[in-house]
Amino acid sequence: MHVGILGPVEAHSPDGKVSVGGPRPRTLLAVLALRVGDIVPLDRLIDELYGAEPPSDAANALQGQVSRLRRALGDASLIEFHPAGYRLALAPDQVDAHRFASLAAEGRQALEHGDPQTAESLLSEALQLWRGPALADVDAPDHATRLEQQRSAATSALIAARIRLGKADVQEISNLVQQHPLDERLRGYLMQALHQQGRQAEALQAFEDARSLLADELGTDPSPELRAIHLQILRGQTHRELPAQLTSFIGRQEELDRIAALNSRLITLTGPGGAGKTRLALQSAGPGAIFVDLAPVKDVPAATLQALGLKETVLAPEDRLTLALRERDTLLILDNCEHVIVQAAQLAQHLLSTCPSLRILATSREPLGITGETLCPVPPLQPEQSVALFVDRARLVNPGFVRDEHTLDICRELDGLPLAIELAAARTRTLTTAEISSRLGDRFRLLIKGNRAAAPRHQTLRAVVEWSWDLLDADERDLAASLATFSGGATVEAVEQVCRHDIEVLAALVDKSLVEALDGRYRMLETIREFCAQHKRVDAEHAAYFLALARRADPELRQRNQVQWFARLAAEHANLLQAVEWATEHDPDLALQLVSALSWYWYVKGSRTEVHGVAQKLLALVPEQSTEEYAILLALAAPERVQDKLAELRGPVRQPFVLVAWAMYAGPPEPDAPRTELQNEVERSDDPWIQGLMGFSSSYTGWVANGDRAAAIENCRSALRQFQDLGERWGAAQILDLLANLTEDPHEALALTDEALLAVGELGAKEELAELRGRRADRLLDLDPAQAERDYLEALELATQAGLAATRALANAGLAEIARRAGDPARAERLLREAQQELGFGWMHAAAKQHVEERLSELVRSREA
């Protein structure tokens, strides 16, 4: 059922039009329809039906009218009785007046938000619901007047939308002006419509007519709004709408909020090409903003005049613009300023100083660089925003597209750059996401098909970056290409030493959005880096610099400032690995030196698994030799061969990883084993770190050999003081762990383990964190089994990340013990069998294997008993 009151009162059922009846049933239906869904009080209904002279039995009379209306509608349930009154049981959109109000409100909102196209569509649909004067065949003048006012407001809004679209109907507006001669808003619309059609004289005459009528009828002058339109016409200005957008706007809420919160009169959106600066500017602009696209132009003032619809005169363009904008409270968008940056800056400064109510929103790959400018960087999209954009654009060309495991990888590989993501999404019409992801190594060939109607610089990914590259001078290009060699960004020191350019050139690249500056590091988006790296590389200089850095850092990694130096190398991790990989291919001797210098950093950081592949490559390229560097390489690439090589070394030991590899793969020396020259050299060393390590070693071996716990504890504490005097956390943690083994107090053991975990946690030492977490779980087994299980699981995860099979096996053995105690021998056996499968070469693996097999034997015996 649908009810119409925008015209004669009507009701329509699925079978057709319903005969409602006489005046009172129609009035009753109209009043109920005006408040559809609400209960209309009995007194109100009686007043509406009978006015000031209701019948003596008004309640019964009303009930009778309700009955007649129910019979006419053919469904008594449509008019519900409630103690307080009656209710028309329809949805609001089943009454034309409510449907009209909803559409009109949406249309006005679209107009306020700068979308005249949508506004025109909604308002037209709303006004088409009218079939004549409201409530044409019932006596309800107050309601009719209110509805007609809503109709008039919607009509005005529709005219405003059409004026913004440049297609207002002059005759229609003229007819409305004749009906409402004192409505200044309609007079203004008529003037604007005439001006848009080039009928300037008629537009000016319309203003004179309005001024005379207002003076004669009301004794007043035209409103400021009408005078402003008159001045606009005198100046020859034509309002032009912002470019309409054909796709949805996704993300950027943080940037929109920042722009809205800024009270600066000049805001410049900066960022690399394809970051979405133009779209963000348009999204943040309100109605009435003036958009100037500077990308295809060379004369900024002339382009701005054209955007305002102004013709050049004898006045200078800047002065002509001042005259047009001086009294306007509006926003001027200067888009794509980077290639005409000087002109854009000069015009912005001139207009801001001569037009006090003007605001400017500029987009550029570098700041305008004038007083009062506020920068709003436009960074790459966040991961989830990137994925949402990819999915949205993919569905435009492939409606069945569904996000999968490759979608995030593609967006991450494309740096969250909106244009690159949109170009990649367009490829889903012919390629799977897996195929797109695998081809991004050659992204400039893959992403070559964009919007044919877009500006040339936005049609392919290469064109986006080339636009920026072409704006650089020779020094900036040379530095950009050199800096692209760095895979993990660079410090100022690295830029100056490797790229041979000073800070001013680097600052220029930051200003031009080719380089990002964050926390003292300078990096390029991967897309920009790949383009720039095609022009020049400085790999040899890069590798030499990072070898020098690794050698400088290595001794510091065992001193008081070790946390800061580990952090510094961690920041350069990608560059260090890149240097090793390049040197392996081009200078194996240099690569061997790098591997040696980085070995302690890699060991503490748990990177041995990560570098295993490149170490194996290098091992195949360098000749065998009895050197410390070669032994370190074997420990990383072929640990089963390192024990024999260690026996050939004579010392002195320069890299501590040699000693750790010795312990890991050879284990404690047998008491009756022949001494090696390396042992003698190590024991004679005056290096305080090696002395501390040897103190730790002798404490452990002495305890194992003679069981003298007190002496072992005393020796441990002496070695601990040596490491603590050095400020060396790794060594201190080893001794704290041994002290936890030596103490007979389980709570003290736990406290010592926690102290050791805290020490290696500061270093981010994955291997020690995994091992200590597992031993903490061992020490908790009898104190807190639930916490022990959580610690074993954490140790298992850390060991998996660091590639520590022995630690994984021990953690699984601990979980198996918990399962056994909980009465689940089947799970315990499965975990122990898994642990057996993981173990391989080396002393640590042998010790772990012995432990696992002892647990397995105990389990088997307990099941047989």
- The string of DSSP letters for 802-863 reads HT-HHHHHHHHHHHHHHHHHTT-HHHHHHHHHHHHHH--SSHHHHHHHHHHHHHHHHHHHHH
Shared-domain flag, residues 722 and 853 = yes
Pick from 537, 560, 580: which residue ends a domain? 537
Non-local CB neighbours of 463 within 8 Å, separated by 6+ positions: 456, 457
In a domain, 173, yes or no: no
Over residues 57-114, the pLDDT tens digits come to 888 888 888 999 888 888 888 999 988 899 999 999 999 999 999 999 999 888 877 6
Shared-domain flag, residues 696 and 791 = yes
Non-local CB neighbours of 721 within 8 Å, separated by 6+ positions: none
Q: Would you put residue 416 in left (φ > 0), alpha (ψ -120 to 50) or beta?
A: left
In a domain, 497, yes or no: yes
Shared-domain flag, residues 567 and 688 = no
Shared-domain flag, residues 396 and 308 = no
Q: By mean pLDDT, which of 83-92, 353-362, 427-436, 828-837 is the weakest?
A: 427-436
In a domain, 137, yes or no: yes
Shared-domain flag, residues 626 and 698 = no
Shared-domain flag, residues 522 and 452 = no
Shared-domain flag, residues 645 and 573 = yes
- Provide the pLDDT confidence category of residue 236 given band limits of 50, 70 and 90: low
What mean pLDDT is reported for the chain?
Answer: 87
- Provide the pLDDT confidence category of residue 526 given band limits of 50, 70 and 90: confident
More confident residue, 650 or 279: 279
- Provide the pLDDT confidence category of residue 286 given band limits of 50, 70 and 90: confident
In a domain, 438, yes or no: yes
Instruction: Using DSSP bridges, classify how beta strands 79-82 and 85-88 pair: parallel, antiparallel or unpaired.
Output: antiparallel
- The string of DSSP letters for 323-387 reads HHHTT---EEEEE--GGGHHHHHHHHHHHHHH-TT-EEEEEESS----TTEEEEE-PPPPHHHHH
Over residues 434-484, the pLDDT tens digits come to 988 888 776 766 665 544 444 444 456 777 778 778 888 999 999 999 999
The CATH number covering residue 754 comes to 1.25.40.10
In a domain, 242, yes or no: no
Q: Above 90 in pLDDT, residue 287?
A: no
Non-local CB neighbours of 861 within 8 Å, separated by 6+ positions: none
In a domain, 207, yes or no: no
Token pair, residue 50, equals: 């009978």
Q: Could you tell me if 602 and 566 are in contact, meaning their C-beta atoms sit under 8 angstroms apart?
A: no
Instruction: Using DSSP bridges, classify how beta strands 2-4 and 10-13 pair: parallel, antiparallel or unpaired.
Output: antiparallel
**What percent of the chain has pLDDT above 70?**
93
pLDDT of residue 456: 46
Over residues 509-519, the pLDDT tens digits come to 988 888 888 88
Q: Indicate the number of domains in the chain.
A: 6
pTM over 0.75: no
More confident residue, 394 or 450: 394
Q: Above 80 in pLDDT, residue 242?
A: no
Over residues 309-351, the pLDDT tens digits come to 666 667 788 888 888 788 778 899 999 898 899 999 999 999 9
Q: 76 φ, ψ to 5°?
A: -65, -25
Shared-domain flag, residues 388 and 510 = no
Over residues 605-616, the pLDDT tens digits come to 888 888 999 999
Over residues 552-596, the pLDDT tens digits come to 999 999 999 999 999 999 999 999 999 999 999 999 999 999 999
pLDDT of residue 524: 86
Token pair, residue 250, equals: 């996704």
Which of 366, 372, 378 has the alpha carbon at shortest distance from 282? 378
Shared-domain flag, residues 583 and 695 = no
**Rounded Cα gap, residues 576 and 506, in angstroms:** 22
pLDDT of residue 114: 67
Token pair, residue 630, equals: 């070669």
User: How far is residue 676 CA from its own chain's centroid?
Assistant: 58
Pick from 465, 484, 518: which residue ends a domain? 465
Q: Above 70 in pLDDT, residue 240?
A: no
**Rounded Cα gap, residues 653 and 660, in angstroms:** 12
Pick from 359, 377, 395: which residue ends a domain? 377
Residue 501 has what DSSP assignment? Answer: -
In a domain, 192, yes or no: no
In a domain, 213, yes or no: no
pLDDT of residue 362: 95
More confident residue, 630 or 803: 630
Across 276-283, average pLDDT: 89
Shared-domain flag, residues 111 and 153 = yes
Shared-domain flag, residues 488 and 554 = no
Non-local CB neighbours of 285 within 8 Å, separated by 6+ positions: 114, 242, 291, 331, 333, 361
The CATH number covering residue 144 comes to 1.10.10.10
Which of 35-44, 180-189, 539-548, 851-860 tops mean pLDDT?
539-548
Shared-domain flag, residues 428 and 508 = no
Q: Would you put residue 7 in left (φ > 0), alpha (ψ -120 to 50) or beta?
A: left
pLDDT of residue 680: 74
Task: Give the domain extent around 105.
Answer: 1-167
What residues are paired with 522 via a beta bridge?
A: 490, 517
**What percent of the chain has pLDDT above 90?**
41
Q: Could you tell me if 406 and 366 are in contact, meaning their C-beta atoms sit under 8 angstroms apart?
A: no
- Provide the pLDDT confidence category of residue 420 given band limits of 50, 70 and 90: confident
- Provide the pLDDT confidence category of residue 846 given band limits of 50, 70 and 90: confident
The CATH number covering residue 278 comes to 3.40.50.300
User: How far is residue 747 CA from its own chain's centroid?
Assistant: 46
pLDDT of residue 453: 42
Over residues 630-668, the pLDDT tens digits come to 999 998 998 888 888 888 887 678 888 888 877 777 666
Q: By mean pLDDT, which of 126-135, 467-476, 721-730, 774-783 is the weakest?
A: 467-476
**Rounded Cα gap, residues 794 and 769, in angstroms:** 10
Q: Above 80 in pLDDT, residue 674?
A: no
**Rounded Cα gap, residues 78 and 91, in angstroms:** 11
